[in-house]
Amino acid sequence: MIPVVSFVGKSNSGKTTVIEKLLPVLKARGLKVAVVKHALHGFEIDRRGKDSYRHKAAGADAVVVVSGSGMAMVKDEPFEGLGSLQSYLSDVDLIITEGFKKEETPKIEVLRSGRGGPFLCAEDPHLIAVVTDLPISPHVAAFGLDDSAALADFIVGRLLEQANP
């Protein structure tokens, strides 16, 4: 199983920004990392009128678009939890998710001043850390919003080194 860590938090708390700063630090350590974003309200990856859109609209169960620099796939398959993605991401060392607060994966909550309210996952036994700019003392590890190197050390030590002793 590939280690998974889920970044959770309220809307506009800075989850994307924290992940965006963390990725280059993890990549500099030679890790292959996948990011899975939870799109609560659905998403559209293709534009009406494009060939791939037309293939999907005509009934294709899966459409893969490839170029010399990458690929994208749209597939009719019910999402059955993060475990169902493992086969698609078998060549990575770590899966980072944004969202998925109800999954039973290690979670890092992003809590930023001005977003108000309590932790979303304060009572979640899977909460392993908090990234925040607030002067709080959570019951788990805490990191500043710009403390990407220390956060990477924590993730590598907690999830990768423990998974592969």
- Domain CATH for 21: 3.40.50.300
* Average pLDDT for 39-52: 70
pLDDT score, position 162: 74
pLDDT score, position 63: 85
Is the residue at 102 inside a domain? yes
Cα separation, 45 vs 32, in Å, equals: 23
pLDDT score, position 41: 54
Is the residue at 61 inside a domain? no
Is the residue at 72 inside a domain? no
Considering the entire predicted model, what is its pTM?
0.85
Domain count along the chain = 1
Is the residue at 55 inside a domain? no
Q: Supply φ then ψ for residue 74, to 5 degrees.
A: -120, 125
Query: Domain range for residue 142?
Result: 4-46+79-163
Is the residue at 100 inside a domain? yes
Pairing of strands 107-111, 127-132: parallel
